[in-house]
């Protein structure tokens, strides 16, 4: 069984990224990110936990209770990386993870080293916070990825045994239960695709639809002293004024009644990814409408300009409309990765190119800022302003973000191109060589571009013999004008769902040149975003820009931009090669007054120029003051 979708990604093995931008990130992924992450998995006991659960090693559980998931996400990233380049070191690391994991699984299919080593009698007792199914979901995603990319079934077999165990305990006519941290739902849908067995898809549907109906299964857990003892803070997150609330885990209402994005941001993303797949599978209009409502609330009122999401550290998630503080922005790296994944499912469900505007914003800004240019330091939170204390680190106690950004970089081509039975989509013109088949005819497609530094690109289509299919080229929202030149075209392109469309018979060597007319532009926020009143943010194409003390010489908070003056684009070697943007304005002279408070007019302003860098690249030259939303003159 495979899901019937309007559009899907090309298999990773059918695309070779030749892009200077993403090609560099993928080289760093293989040469630096994955080897150093493996060292961290070993050093922090994450691999040892599996070996201890397997009885191969002495010792007890180390670290946080959901640490198994980091090894799984890491394995998934390795599978993607090995389709890019068969690297012996990455292969060896992946094999070590697979061997550790397969050894730890119990004969009944159970695997979670925290419970196996510390609380073997309390399995499935605290679903709201103990993440057994969440970890299992990442196991399944890894199992599917390793199988589909490399043909290696070992983790897939572990995944199937785990999924079957979960389904023997929970489900219609059995125990009613689902995980506090969504993830297994989307993973089971992937498992359905990989195995051809629809029972996993239907079980995922049951879990998604059961969620949010009262009474919640978590309410009983909050009354169970042994369950609460596993993680005593549980109650404070799931209750409000002593009553069960559930918003934290999107367990407040059945999914079809959701109108706003609430709770923990990563949980929300993972739930809605599964829901979009389920809606797409059944052409379920009511579910699709609910998802569009939530999406519009998120992207219209609760998303940073960088596509960071979830402003608050207290719930790692959402608060209220237009509450988007810059300095204290939580904006977890995983949440922006999740937004890319959810946006992609919405795109596949609807065929609407508007979703790519958000995918691209998250990909090039809020997610990518989560990793250093060197590939071995990470942000967990991604604020839009810094007073010099925010810094990437090599790892975290809770290390969800590093392997998440790794699997995103490894699979970036999933979000750039799409195919259906009769169409090829260019969502984001990342340079590549790809192959697809239309009407039985193999077709080579080649994109040459310098994205995101230029909006100009060239697309060459080479079918084995003339063949008809649709070519859809996305028109980004930031593009003021799109110019397309196809010398052999008899008619101009049609426009449909945010794409320019050519429906014709293609012949060997047909070449299109496209110009998305990328130019720097200033944006303002809705005035209800109080933190941004009187401020503007500078963008160029998909990139949001930031000003750092490192380039400006003093705190960027002292700068006021002249948003009417021309912005000069300059190609530079710094930060692994970026376009910087030179802006004119005024700066407050950073001098000390004699008094804390002085008469109005005491502040001296001088003419000033400020060099902005892409937001994703900030804090790569040491911790420094930074600002995205600068004051307007
Ligand atoms: Zn994270």
Q: Is the separation of the CB atoms in 333 and 370 below 8 Å?
A: yes
Nearest to 7, CA basis, from 497, 367, 506, 508: 497
Q: What is residue 492's predicted lDDT score, i.e. its pLDDT?
A: 85
**Pairwise CA distance, residues 518 & 153, whole Å:** 45
64 CA distance to ligand 1 middle (Å): 14
**Centroid of chain to Cα 237:** 24
Render pLDDT for 17-74 as a digit per residue (tens, 0 to 9): 999 999 999 999 999 999 999 999 999 999 999 999 999 999 999 999 999 999 999 9
**Pairwise CA distance, residues 538 & 523, whole Å:** 6
Protein residues within 5 Å, CB atom, of ion ligand 1: 332, 334, 400-401
Give yes or no for residue 4 having a pLDDT over 50.
no
333 CA distance to ligand 1 middle (Å): 6
82 CA distance to ligand 1 middle (Å): 23
pLDDT band of 334, cuts 50, 70, 90: very high
147 CA distance to ligand 1 middle (Å): 25
473 CA distance to ligand 1 middle (Å): 33
Q: What is residue 236's predicted lDDT score, i.e. its pLDDT?
A: 86
189 CA distance to ligand 1 middle (Å): 22
DSSP conformational letter for 10:
P
Q: What is the mean pLDDT of the chain?
A: 96
Tell me the C-alpha to C-alpha distance, in Å, between residue 413 and each of 12, 14, 615: 7, 10, 22
Q: Is the separation of the CB atoms in 62 and 47 below 8 Å?
A: no
**Pairwise CA distance, residues 606 & 235, whole Å:** 54
338 CA distance to ligand 1 middle (Å): 10
pLDDT band of 601, cuts 50, 70, 90: confident
384 CA distance to ligand 1 middle (Å): 17
- Cis peptide before 156, with omega less than 30 degrees from 0? no
Render pLDDT for 292-322 as a digit per residue (tens, 0 to 9): 999 999 999 999 999 999 999 999 999 999 9
pLDDT band of 235, cuts 50, 70, 90: confident
* Domains assigned to the chain: 13-411 (1.50.10), 418-515 (2.60.420), 520-632 (no CATH)
332 CA distance to ligand 1 middle (Å): 6
Residue 556 tokens read as: 């960027």
Positions of E strands within 360-493: 385-387, 417-420, 423-426, 432-438, 441-449, 456-463, 467-474, 483-485
Full-model pTM = 0.98
224 CA distance to ligand 1 middle (Å): 29
334 CA distance to ligand 1 middle (Å): 4
């Amino acid at each position: 069984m495979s899901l019937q979708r309007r559009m899907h990604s090309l298999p990773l093995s059918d695309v070779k990224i030749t892009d200077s931008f993403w090609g560099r990130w993928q080289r760093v992924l293989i040469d630096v990110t994955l080897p150093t992450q493996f060292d961290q998995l070993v050093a922090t006991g994450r691999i040892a936990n599996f070996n201890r659960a397997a009885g191969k090693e002495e010792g007890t559980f180390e670290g946080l209770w959901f640490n198994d998931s980091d090894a799984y996400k890491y394995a998934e990233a390795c599978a993607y990386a090995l389709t890019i380049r068969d690297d012996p070191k990455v292969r060896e690391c992946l094999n070590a993870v697979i061997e550790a994991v397969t050894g730890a699984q119990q004969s009944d299919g159970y695997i979670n080293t925290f419970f196996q080593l510390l609380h073997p009698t309390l399995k499935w007792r605290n679903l709201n916070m103990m993440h057994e199914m969440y970890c299992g979901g990442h196991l399944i995603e890894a199992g599917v990825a390793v199988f589909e990319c490399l043909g290696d079934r070992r983790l897939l077999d572990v995944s199937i045994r785990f999924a079957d165990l979960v389904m023997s305990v929970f489900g219609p006519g059995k125990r009613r239960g689902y995980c506090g941290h969504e993830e297994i739902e989307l993973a089971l849908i992937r498992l359905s695709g990989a195995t051809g067995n629809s029972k996993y898809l239907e079980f995922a549907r049951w879990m998604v639809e059961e969620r949010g109906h009262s009474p919640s299964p978590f309410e009983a857990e909050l009354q169970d002293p042994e369950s609460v003892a596993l993680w005593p803070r549980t109650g404070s997150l799931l209750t409000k004024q002593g009553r069960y609330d559930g918003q934290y885990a999107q367990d407040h209402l059945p999914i079809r009644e959701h109108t706003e994005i609430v709770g923990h941001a990563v949980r929300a993303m993972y739930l809605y990814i599964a829901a979009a797949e389920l809606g797409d599978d059944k052409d379920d209009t009511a579910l699709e409408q609910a998802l569009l409502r939530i999406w519009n609330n998120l992207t219209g009122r609760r998303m940073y300009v960088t596509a960071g999401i979830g402003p608050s550290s207290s719930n790692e998630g959402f608060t209220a409309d237009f509450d988007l503080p810059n300095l204290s922005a939580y904006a977890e790296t995983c949440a922006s990765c999740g937004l890319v994944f959810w946006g992609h499912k919405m795109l596949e469900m609807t065929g609407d190119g508007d979703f790519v505007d958000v995918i691209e914003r998250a990909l090039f800004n809020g997610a990518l800022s989560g990793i250093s240019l060197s590939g071995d330091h990470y942000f967990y939170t991604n604020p839009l302003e810094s007073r010099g204390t925010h810094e990437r680190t090599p790892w975290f106690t809770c290390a969800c973000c590093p392997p998440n950004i790794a699997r995103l970089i490894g699979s970036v081509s999933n979000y750039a191109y799409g195919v259906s039975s009769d169409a090829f989509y260019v969502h984001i013109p990342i340079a590549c060589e790809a192959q697809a088949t239309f009407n039985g005819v193999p077709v080579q497609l080649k994109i040459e571009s310098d994205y995101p530094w230029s909006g100009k690109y060239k697309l060459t289509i080479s079918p084995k013999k003339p063949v008809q299919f649709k070519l859809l080229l996305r028109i980004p929202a930031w593009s003021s004008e799109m110019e397309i030149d196809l010398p052999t075209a008899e008619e101009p392109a049609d426009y449909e769902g945010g794409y320019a469309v050519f429906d014709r018979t293609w012949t060997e060597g047909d070449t299109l040149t496209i110009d998305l007319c990328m130019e720097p532009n200033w944006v303002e926020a809705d005035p209800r975003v109080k933190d941004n009143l009187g401020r503007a943010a500078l963008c160029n194409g998909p990139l949001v820009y930031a000003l750092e003390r490192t380039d400006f010489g003093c705190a960027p908070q002292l700068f006021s931009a002249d948003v009417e003056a021309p912005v000069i684009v300059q190609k530079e070697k710094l930060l692994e090669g970026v376009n910087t943007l030179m802006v004119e304005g005024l700066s407050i002279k950073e001098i000390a007054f004699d008094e804390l408070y002085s008469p109005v007019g005491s502040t001296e302003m001088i003419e000033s120029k400020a060099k902005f860098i892409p937001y994703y690249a900030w804090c790569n030259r040491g911790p420094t003051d930074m600002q995205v939303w600068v004051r307007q003159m």
